[in-house]
């Protein structure tokens, strides 16, 4: 008999004792202590048990008045989309028979730049409640998402913001008209698990409320939570709010019935309880921040000899150091000298940072683009590399007019020490990153002072952009977001209430032109060359020092097969292929 699932506990020892001493009663599920998950009876033989660190706001990909997914993993088991994006960021038809291809009747570009894409849907697809799925459900979803009274954040972001209209000539045909040239029109999902393109919504459940403009009733409908009806591999069976979500295999899934019979998603806010569940075998997969990175490394070391499980390291953002370029704020002004920035990157031991933060598991980056994508050789050949070299750093500092004083610290021609602040934001990883980097720079001869943005100010956009020298930073790893993070229009300034994502205020006309072209160019080959050119400019001019991906551990037990790593720019987060997973006896 497999161990009982979701037993409560705050610490490993108490949880494991609870498994054997306090969780043996057969009966209905009841909530456990806050954050520890429910006490349940032994699940069926082929039940997948997954822990997440918080309860999702909804099982729908987008929900009313929500800026994004509070928890991403629970969405995938219960939803299906036009396309399925795999672990290599490649898209495959899912609800659609095929995806639009440029230069065919399925993707037409008009002389004025507007476009039209057409999808043919797979036949005989049904919702979890047995109602037939049709193109009208996708049209309804578009109307829903773009209704201001419902407050869908997706309406203001691509791809929906680039759409002019959506229509269904018949039940199996979807036509999307685009306002402008948009290269992502062939794959609607936009990197990362928080933008899943144009997720369908069941018109037969919500259509009447929409037609009657009953916005409040519609936004509070049970569909968004305990009454969710989707198209994914699992059908919602039970949602005990505050405790767990259970789903059963859906026989009508468009890609076939999943190989696992049931899924049990338990909410465990306490990381100690989560790791104890994994060790005890009561959780098959821990994801969505269930474990701290330190706990994950310790568990990985244990599993190296026991072979009890495997790890996925997923990433959604790129960590980097950003330089300040505002003349009125930058201090010292020497940071505006490219030679000084080159000296700083040459004297930063990024491998030491990787070891200190990620136990060497991180992927060191030379650009804003994933080294795992198939076209990366073109980018790799374009970027300037800055290997760790104190002699190279000293050479650049000498060229810039600095010499080391008797105490080994760089001074200018007047004898003034080069003092710079390395500031962290957000605590945790940022603080460790700051300390390790500042220590290395001090050893290299820079008077690197350490500063921390107080927690009360960490959410203040102006404060985050007002650092004097160097700041830790993290940004979504998608091509569109990372490339925009260094453009002039995205500079955080009073005019945009400091909400631009270019916090260092670096500006380069050539780079702006490249990004603008990249966002409208349709030819895939040309877009690869644009990526390479962007990477070249960024590595030559150094507005920031790229470090590595912000890693999230996702350990799973050896009896579970199927999970695979994902690329950071892929919507194929953990669970993208959950319909293929299996649990071995």
- The sign one gets for the Cα dihedral 500, 464, 68, 282 is positive
- The sign one gets for the Cα dihedral 500, 62, 479, 473 is positive
Q: Are 475 and 486 in contact (CB under 8 A)?
A: no
pLDDT for 444 equals 98
* Cα–Cα distances in angstroms (integers) from residue 550 to residues 63, 268, 335, in the given order: 26, 22, 26
Regions of the chain where pLDDT drops below 50: 1-41, 67-70
Query: Reduced to 3 states, what is the DSSP secondary structure of residue 328?
Result: coil
Exposed, middle or buried, 419 (CB in 10 Å: 0-12/13-18/19+)?
A: middle
Distance CA 394, CA 398 (A): 6
For the chain, the domains span 12-308+558-583, 316-550
- The sign one gets for the Cα dihedral 504, 569, 160, 76 is negative
Strand extents, DSSP E, 185-341: 234-240, 244-249, 262-267, 285-286, 309-323
In DSSP terms, 126 is beta-bridged to 132
The domain over range 316-550 is classified in CATH as 3.40.50.300: no
pLDDT digits (tens, 9 = 90+) for 53-102: 889 989 999 988 554 444 678 999 999 999 998 887 789 999 999 999 99
Distance CA 495, CA 96 (A): 43
pLDDT for 65 equals 57
Fold agreement (12-308+558-583, 316-550): no
Residue with tokens 């609607």: 188
Distance CA 545, CA 323 (A): 8
In DSSP terms, 553 is beta-bridged to 313
Its pTM surpasses 0.85 = no
Cα 35 to chain center, whole Å?
24
Helices (H), 33-171: 75-78, 135-145
pLDDT for 25 equals 28
Distance CA 182, CA 139 (A): 19
Distance CA 543, CA 535 (A): 12
Exposed, middle or buried, 126 (CB in 10 Å: 0-12/13-18/19+)?
A: middle
∠ CA 308-312-313, rounded to 5°: 135
Kindly state the helix (H) or strand (E) to which residue 555 belongs, with its residue range: strand 544-557
Q: Are 517 and 483 in contact (CB under 8 A)?
A: no
Bridging pattern class, strands 262-267 and 244-249: antiparallel
**The dihedral formed by the CA atoms of 74, 78, 81 and 85, expressed in degrees to the nearest 10:** 50
Residue 82's nearest CA partner among 71, 66, 98 is 98
pLDDT digits (tens, 9 = 90+) for 231-286: 999 999 999 999 999 999 999 999 999 999 999 999 999 999 999 999 999 999 99
The domain over range 12-308+558-583 is classified in CATH as 3.40.50.300: no
Distance CA 396, CA 124 (A): 66
pLDDT digits (tens, 9 = 90+) for 370-412: 888 889 999 999 999 999 999 999 999 999 999 999 999 999 9
Query: Reduced to 3 states, what is the DSSP secondary structure of residue 526?
Result: helix
Residue 445's nearest CA partner among 393, 388, 401 is 393
Query: Reduced to 3 states, what is the DSSP secondary structure of residue 220?
Result: coil
């Amino acid at each position: 008999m497999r161990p009982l699932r979701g037993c409560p506990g705050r610490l490993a020892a108490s949880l494991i004792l609870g498994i054997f001493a306090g969780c043996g009663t057969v009966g209905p599920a009841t909530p456990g202590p806050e954050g520890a998950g429910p006490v349940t009876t032994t699940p069926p033989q082929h039940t997948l048990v997954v822990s997440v660190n918080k309860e999702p706001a909804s099982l729908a990909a987008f929900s009313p008045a929500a800026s994004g997914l509070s928890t991403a993993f629970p969405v995938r088991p219960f939803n299906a989309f036009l396309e399925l994006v795999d672990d290599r960021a490649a898209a495959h038809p899912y609800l659609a028979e095929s995806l639009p291809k440029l230069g065919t009747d399925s993707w037409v570009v008009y002389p004025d730049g507007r476009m039209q894409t057409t999808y043919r849907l797979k036949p005989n697809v049904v919702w979890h409640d047995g109602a037939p799925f049709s193109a009208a459900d996708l049209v309804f979803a578009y109307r829903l998402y773009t209704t201001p009274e419902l407050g869908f954040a997706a309406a203001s972001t691509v791809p929906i913001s680039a759409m002019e209209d959506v229509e269904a000539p018949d039940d199996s045909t979807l036509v999307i008209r685009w306002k402008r040239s948009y290269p992502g029109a062939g794959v609607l999902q936009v990197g990362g698990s928080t933008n899943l393109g144009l997720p369908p919504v069941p018109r037969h459940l919500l259509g009447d409320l929409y037609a009657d403009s009953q916005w409040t009733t519609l936004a509070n409908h049970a569909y968004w939570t305990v009454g969710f009806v989707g198209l994914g591999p699992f059908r919602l069976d039970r949602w005990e709010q505050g405790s767990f979500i259970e789903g059963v295999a859906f026989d009508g899934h468009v890609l076939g019935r999943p190989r696992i019979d049931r899924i049990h998603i338990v909410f465990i806010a306490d990381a100690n309880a989560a790791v104890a569940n994994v060790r005890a075998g009561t959780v098959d997969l821990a994801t969505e921040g269930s474990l701290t990175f330190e706990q994950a490394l310790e568990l990985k070391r244990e599993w190296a000899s026991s072979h009890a499980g495997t790890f996925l390291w997923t990433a959604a953002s790129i960590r980097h150091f950003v330089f300040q370029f505002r003349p009125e704020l930058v201090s010292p002004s020497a940071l505006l000298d490219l030679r000084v920035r080159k000296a700083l990157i040459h004297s930063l031991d990024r491998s030491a940072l990787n070891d200190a933060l990620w136990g060497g598991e991180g992927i060191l980056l030379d650009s804003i683009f994933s080294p795992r994508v198939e076209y990366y050789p073109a980018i790799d050949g374009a970027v300037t590399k800055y290997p760790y070299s104190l002699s190279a750093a000293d050479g650049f500092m000498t060229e810039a007019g600095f010499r080391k004083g008797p105490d080994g610290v760089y001074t200018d021609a007047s004898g003034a020490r080069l003092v710079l602040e390395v500031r962290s934001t957000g605590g945790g990883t940022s603080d460790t990153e700051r300390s390790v980097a500042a220590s290395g720079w001090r050893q290299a001869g820079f008077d690197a002072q350490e500063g921390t943005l107080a927690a009360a100010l960490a959410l203040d956009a102006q404060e985050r952009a007002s650092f004097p020298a160097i700041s830790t930073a993290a940004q979504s790893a998608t091509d569109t977001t990372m490339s925009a993070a260094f453009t002039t229009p995205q500079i955080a300034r009073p005019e945009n209430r400091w909400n631009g994502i270019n916090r260092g205020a670096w500006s380069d006309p050539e780079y702006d032109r490249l990004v603008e072209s990249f966002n409208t160019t349709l030819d895939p080959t040309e877009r690869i060359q644009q990526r390479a050119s962007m990477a070249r400019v960024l590595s030559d001019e150094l507005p920031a020092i790229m470090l590595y991906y912000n890693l999230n551990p996702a350990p799973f037990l050896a009896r579970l097969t199927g999970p695979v790593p994902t690329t950071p720019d892929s919507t194929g987060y953990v669970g993208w292929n959950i319909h293929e997973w299996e649990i071995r006896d």
